[in-house]
Amino acid sequence: MKSEMRLNSPGVLVRMERVQNILFLCTGNSCRSIMAEALMNTLGKGRFKAYSAGSRPTGKVHPKAIETLKNQGIEPGDVRSKSWDEFLEADIDLVVTVCKNAAGESCPIFPGKLEKLSWWIPDPAQASGADTEIQAEFESAFFMLKDRIEDLVEGRLQAAEQVSNTRQYVT
């Protein structure tokens, strides 16, 4: 969390903690970035405000993403699939892409000089098979995101980056 110095009413300089704005990006903004937004807004406990967007949004949120969040006790909030264009002028502190280049997916690159992270999370929207297999893919993506977001919230990001190869879903 960033801090800023401000004068309080008696004229004393105090350090104010500022909420960090995080933008989660993927291509379609229908699954991974939606789940990441809801997770961060819950796990961030008011220290972070998350948003999500896509470089080519599908225009709809995958119902399994909402179902997965609710099954895990995370309130999705009022999410919708939207373009990153809505955030080009926003006060964003960190952009996190949640895609998987290794799967031939094109990860979006948000313009500007911002702090950026890339987390390789497989796209559960591409899952096929029986309903239980599809749900398992959504849950897998959910827990990958949850682990990473907990690391980010708790300031363990560098440690998480060092063990990334064993988890197979990070940069």
Beta bridge partners of 22: 50, 94
Superfamily of chain region 16-166: Response regulator (3.40.50.2300)
Rounded Cα distance, 83 and 139, in Å: 25
Catalytic residues: 26, 99, 107
Chain position carrying tokens 């291509």: 27
Q: Are 91 and 63 in contact (CB under 8 A)?
A: no
Q: Which residue has the tokens 């099954």?
A: 71
CA distance 162 to 69: 28
pLDDT in tens, the chain (171 residues): 455 545 555 555 545 578 999 999 988 999 999 999 999 999 998 999 999 999 889 999 999 999 999 999 999 999 999 998 899 888 899 989 898 653 345 556 666 666 788 898 999 998 999 999 999 999 999 999 999 999 999 886 554 444 333 333 333
* Most distant CA atoms of the chain, gap in Å: 65
pTM over the 0.85 mark: no
Mapping DSSP to helix (H, G, I), strand (E, B) and coil, where does residue 142 land? helix
